[in-house]
Amino acid sequence: MSENQQGSNMMGTIPDGERLARVEGKVEHIERDIVDIKQDVREIRKDMSGLFKWMIGIMFGTVVSILGTIISVVISLLPYLLNHH
């Protein structure tokens, strides 16, 4: 018995061509899944980039607001601080 026939008998009575077609079909399915995953990752990166920009903008606005409040308080207290010394 040849090596190819022994392999065929160990795998059952499925011909080599049919087994190869099954494997190719599964590989094609895996390739489609990988393409879908890559697209999903691109979309997530795009969404995260937009969220990151919003977060930086809000943080910048908060810092400016706090600094504005501090400057306003210091300016309003400046006459009192200068007169008492």
* Domain regions of the chain by residue span: 3-83
Report the share of the chain in percent with pLDDT over 90.
Answer: 58
Return the SS3 of 26: helix
Predicted TM-score of the model (pTM): 0.49
Pairwise CA distance, residues 37 & 31, whole Å? 10
Q: CB-side exposure of 4: number of CA atoms within 13 Å?
A: 4
Residue 29 above 90 pLDDT? yes
Q: What is the pLDDT of residues 47-61, one digit of tens each?
A: 898 889 999 999 999
User: What confidence score (pLDDT) does residue 8 get?
Assistant: 46
- What was the pLDDT predicted at 10? 54
